[in-house]
A and B are shown apart, each in its own frame.
Chain A
Amino acid sequence: MSVLQTEGLAVGYGERVVVDGVNLEALKGQFICLLGPNGSGKSTILRCLAGLLSPLKGSVYLKGDVLYRLEPKDLSRIMAVVLTDRLSPGLVTVFDVAAMGRYPYTNFFGHFSEDDRRKTWEALRLVNAHDLAERYFSELSDGEKQKVLLARALVQEPEVIVLDEPTTHLDVKHRLEVMEILRELTKEKGITVILSLHEIDLALKSCETALLVKNGKILAYGPPEVVLDEEMVTTLYDINSAHFSLCLGGMELVNNGGPMVYVLAGAGSGAPLYRFLNKCGFSIMTGVLHENDVDYHVGKALGARVIGEKAFEEISDRSFSKAALLSNQVPYIVESDYPVGSFNRRNADLARHILAQGKVIYSLRGREGARRLYGDGAAGMVFFPDFNSLGKRLKDLSREQQAGGE
């Protein structure tokens, strides 16, 4: 059953239309997320959905009724909001802030019954803020405040909660906590959650439906897995310096030029190394990596040249010779501490081949491990205990080479 529905909705202020043509349908217990760059009109849409702003065109229907014709009191029993305003309510305790959510249910004098009290505590416990109940709201951190405001919304016993950027200013722990609570609400209480987010990864990982807003228009509407691909994310945010990977569910900064480094990696040991070398200003070439290896996807998203192999296949002659050829043209070879097993054992052959050409491999594997794997060939390797020392050495080398070249 559709709880909230819009038809040809245009939102804005006065004469100015901010977003036009908003058609969305929120079902019971659905988790809907608005994505878009700053200033695209996400907040304006949300304010309109919450009844804080009347629509310029079209309508919003709440459970079949025209939303802005509802009495404020009736509306407040169905819909609650969490806004971005920085609040300074003065000397009000956390419990009292949450308790304000009982407003639509208490009598003229705001008399608080045992039932109201119990419901307030329940909501505070649900968001893990019951320990804060006695504190003044203004003393809390941003993350704690956000949880309390969420509790306040819950105390209102709504069927729909509208949240404007609930994760902004929060640290990782609180961000995940808030999203987790919201997801539980949709699943267990059947509350419909509509929110705006800045983090694509969070949207992808928590929402069922995404509404992409840009330049006053709705770019797409549907499950994030369907509507969010690399191209759409690039259009949505106008970013050229980063790549979005649906498989990784996040963004990677794209590598743009700089001296080439060939990286031997695998089984996830490459991902942090790529990012590190990328930040140091190197371009990356890597392989041979299997297509089911996370390094493969991170490498691709970073814009590295990846020599790939089909999943669960042994490395073919074709891939091997391609890797051998390319690694030969690159000034620096680096290897991570990747494990060698039956599928990728030819990567060890590749390393031996490179060493046999008289090239140096800068290794993070450690002397002992390398000797076991490559035998005497390991003599041609230089070892580093960590990323930092490796990065420093590579930077020095490339600087020397530049100076020599001039």
Chain B
Amino acid sequence: MRAHDNKINTLPLPFLFALFGLLLLVFVILNITLGSVQISLSEIWKSLLHKGDPVFQTVVMEIRFPRAVAAVFGGAALAVSGLLLQIFFRNPIADPYVLGVSSGATLLVAIVSLSGFAMGMRSVSPYLLSAAALIGALGVVALIVILAGKLKNVVTLLVVGMMIGFMCSAGTSFLIAFAEKEQVHSFTLWTLGSFSGFCWDEAAVLAIGGAVLLIASYLLCKPLNALLLGEDYAQSMGVDIRTLRVVIVVISSVLTALVTAFAGPVAFIGLAAPHLARLTLGSSDNKVLIPAAILIGALITTLCDLAARLVFAPVELPISAVTSLFGGPIVIFLLLKRKTSL
């Protein structure tokens, strides 16, 4: 029958989820094994039990493991943030950055790293950068939340968010114009995102904060499903729209802010992972879509981080370059295979 024409898979959902989970595990292990130093599985096992070679132990436990954890939670956070905003704005091209969260982070990072010298700073510590990015991102979130309660409809909010983004970018451009070349180079690399240099403290903040918010967004799946029919219908079915708006904006923005703070604005995952989840599952039901987006977001991010490290080793590519280059064709392919629009 026509019913299933548009589904790309006919596989049962539990199988798909098991497949995604297994792939994720494989990629995480690959992320830890592969690199400038190859580390075998048994070495990893020994390192985990604190019995291995001290060099390997450092590489595994202090560098690669936290980085892999960060990629998993970072990818998942961006995917869910994008999904929430796509539903909220009923717009398939919404991504985690539409509300200006990353622009706020970028502006603060620019202030710290580009004008730091003027204020007498010799070098910029990564902690300071992360703190600046987090403050910038959360500042924009606070502004958006205040506005979300006041504005009549979500499209206005979308435009306001974009305007805030543009204003922050303008400030950033201003700083770039007056900055020195080397600073601009390292700043530009920051804006392209990277999971390198994650320490356990940072990874833990991202993982714990991310996990809490991911669970919170899963608890929203019932009102989110009602929102698929638009705000009026949702309200008529008993959804408290004003509260839901604020909750969605807070959860999605804080998820994005967490990732941006430590990894910079990682492009594409937040836009593409929700679509990939929808297309592979053939469903917009958030009860399955949110877990799928989490798994797919984590999957793509770990895979892309691996590629970013390995393809042109020892030069490490910015992760945004890899995500867009890999993900774009996949989304186009899936869209072409399906006849209905998003």
Task: Tell me whether A and B are bound partners.
Answer: yes
Please tell me which one of the listed residues A81, A97, A103 contacts residue B232 in the complex, with CB atoms under 8 A apart: A81
CB atoms of B222 and A52 under 8 A apart: no
CB atoms of A80 and B236 under 8 A apart: yes
Please tell me which one of the listed residues A71, A85, A88, A109 contacts residue B341 in the complex, with CB atoms under 8 A apart: A88
A75 to B284, CA, bound (A): 27
CB atoms of A90 and B229 under 8 A apart: no
Residue with the highest number of chain A CB atoms closer than 10 Å, among B90, B235, B236, B341: B236
Which residues of chain A are within 8 angstroms of B285 by Cβ–Cβ distance?
A: 92, 96
CB atoms of B236 and A87 under 8 A apart: no
Which residues of chain B are within 8 angstroms of A242 by Cβ–Cβ distance?
A: none
CB atoms of A135 and B284 under 8 A apart: no
CB atoms of B226 and A100 under 8 A apart: yes
Tell me whether B119 is interfacial, beta carbon within 8 Å. Answer: no
Residue with the highest number of chain B CB atoms closer than 10 Å, among A81, A87, A106, A136: A136
Give the residues from 33 to 79 in chain A that come closer than 8 angstroms, CB to CB, to chain B: 47, 50-52, 71-77, 79
CB distance from A97 to the nearest CB of B (A): 7
Give the residues from 102 to 152 in chain A that come closer than 8 angstroms, CB to CB, to chain B: 103-104, 106, 108-110, 134-136, 138-139
Which of B1-9, B44-52, B264-272 lies at the interface? B1-9
Tell me whether A89 is interfacial, beta carbon within 8 Å. Answer: yes
A106 to B219, CA, bound (A): 14
CB atoms of B239 and A89 under 8 A apart: no
Please tell me which one of the listed residues A79, A89, A100, A135 contacts residue B2 in the complex, with CB atoms under 8 A apart: A135
A363 to B210, CA, bound (A): 85
A156 to B278, CA, bound (A): 27
CB atoms of A89 and B229 under 8 A apart: yes
Which residues of chain B are within 8 angstroms of A80 by Cβ–Cβ distance?
A: 236
CB distance from B338 to the nearest CB of A (A): 9
CB atoms of B235 and A91 under 8 A apart: no
A136 to B281, CA, bound (A): 13
Tell me whether A83 is interfacial, beta carbon within 8 Å. Answer: yes
B224 — nearest CB in chain A belongs to which residue?
A: A110
Give the residues from 326 to 376 in chain A that come closer than 8 angstroms, CB to CB, to chain B: none
Residue with the highest number of chain B CB atoms closer than 10 Å, among A73, A103, A104: A103
Tell me whether B342 is interfacial, beta carbon within 8 Å. Answer: yes
B87 — nearest CB in chain A belongs to which residue?
A: A90
A79 to B233, CA, bound (A): 11
Known: A72-B238, A85-B232. A100 touches B283 (CB 8 A): no
CB atoms of A83 and B228 under 8 A apart: no
Which residues of chain B are within 8 angstroms of A81 by Cβ–Cβ distance?
A: 232-233, 236
CB distance from B173 to the nearest CB of A (A): 36
Tell me whether A287 is interfacial, beta carbon within 8 Å. Answer: no
Tell me whether A270 is interfacial, beta carbon within 8 Å. Answer: no
Tell me whether A29 is interfacial, beta carbon within 8 Å. Answer: no
CB atoms of B221 and A110 under 8 A apart: yes
Residue with the highest number of chain A CB atoms closer than 10 Å, among B1, B278, B283: B283
Residue with the highest number of chain A CB atoms closer than 10 Å, among B221, B229, B237, B340: B237
A19 to B235, CA, bound (A): 23
Tell me whether B282 is interfacial, beta carbon within 8 Å. Answer: yes
Please tell me which one of the listed residues B225, B229, B236, B340 contacts residue A110 in the complex, with CB atoms under 8 A apart: B225
A215 to B167, CA, bound (A): 44
Which residues of chain A are within 8 angstroms of B278 by Cβ–Cβ distance?
A: 90-91
A350 to B229, CA, bound (A): 65
Chain B window 206-224, contacts with chain A (Cβ cutoff 8 Å), 1 for yes, 0 for no: 0000000000000101100
CB distance from A164 to the nearest CB of B (A): 10
A97 to B234, CA, bound (A): 12
CB atoms of A72 and B230 under 8 A apart: no
CB distance from A262 to the nearest CB of B (A): 56
CB atoms of A89 and B236 under 8 A apart: no
Give the residues from 41 to 95 in chain B that come closer than 8 angstroms, CB to CB, to chain A: 90
Known: A72-B240, A75-B238, A108-B222. A52 touches B284 (CB 8 A): no
Which residues of chain A are within 8 angstroms of B228 by Cβ–Cβ distance?
A: 89-90, 92, 100
Which residues of chain A are within 8 angstroms of B232 by Cβ–Cβ distance?
A: 47, 52, 81, 83, 85
A105 — nearest CB in chain B belongs to which residue?
A: B238
Tell me whether A303 is interfacial, beta carbon within 8 Å. Answer: no
Please tell me which one of the listed residues B3, B222, B283 contacts residue A134 in the complex, with CB atoms under 8 A apart: B3
A141 to B6, CA, bound (A): 16
Tell me whether B245 is interfacial, beta carbon within 8 Å. Answer: no
CB atoms of A97 and B236 under 8 A apart: no
A85 — nearest CB in chain B belongs to which residue?
A: B230
Please tell me which one of the listed residues A71, A76, A79, A91 contacts residue B283 in the complex, with CB atoms under 8 A apart: A91
A50 — nearest CB in chain B belongs to which residue?
A: B236
A77 to B237, CA, bound (A): 8
A74 — nearest CB in chain B belongs to which residue?
A: B238
Which residues of chain B are within 8 angstroms of A138 by Cβ–Cβ distance?
A: 340-341
- 5 A–B contacts, CB within 8 A, in A order: A71-B238, A77-B238, A89-B228, A89-B229, A134-B4
Q: Top 8 A-B pairs ranked by shortest CB distance?
A: A76-B238, A90-B284, A110-B222, A134-B3, A103-B237, A89-B228, A73-B238, A91-B284
Binding site for B on A (CB under 8 A): 47, 50-52, 71-77, 79-81, 83, 85, 87-93, 96-97, 100-101, 103-104, 106, 108-110, 134-136, 138-139, 156
Q: Give 8 new A-B contacts, CB below 8 A, not counting A79-B236, A81-B233, A109-B287.
A: A50-B236, A89-B229, A91-B284, A92-B283, A100-B233, A108-B219, A136-B340, A138-B341
